[in-house]
Amino acid sequence: MLYWAVICLVIAIIAGVLGFGGIAGTAAGFAKILFFIFLVLLVVSLVVNALRGRGPKI
């Protein structure tokens, strides 16, 4: 999911440089939503693993 957020951010930057403000704003908003979903899932995963007593897999 973080991968897709970065892809949307790159699309937004490229569109902004080329002057496509609407597309850039939409892609940036989508990247922001995906990033926050990623953060929520990361925190939930860390809490569940901590409650189970498992360490992170390396």
pLDDT, tens digit, 9 for 90 and up, residues 14-54: 988 998 888 888 888 888 899 999 999 999 988 888 888 76
- Domain-wise residue ranges, the chain: 2-48
**Contact partners, residue 23, CB within 8 Å, separation at least 6:** 11, 12, 15
* The pLDDT value given to residue 46: 87
List C-alpha distances in Å: 33 to 3, 17, 19, 55, 58: 13, 22, 23, 28, 28
> Per the confidence metrics, is the pTM higher than 0.85?
no
CB 28 within 8 A of CB 12: yes
55, pLDDT greater than 80 = no
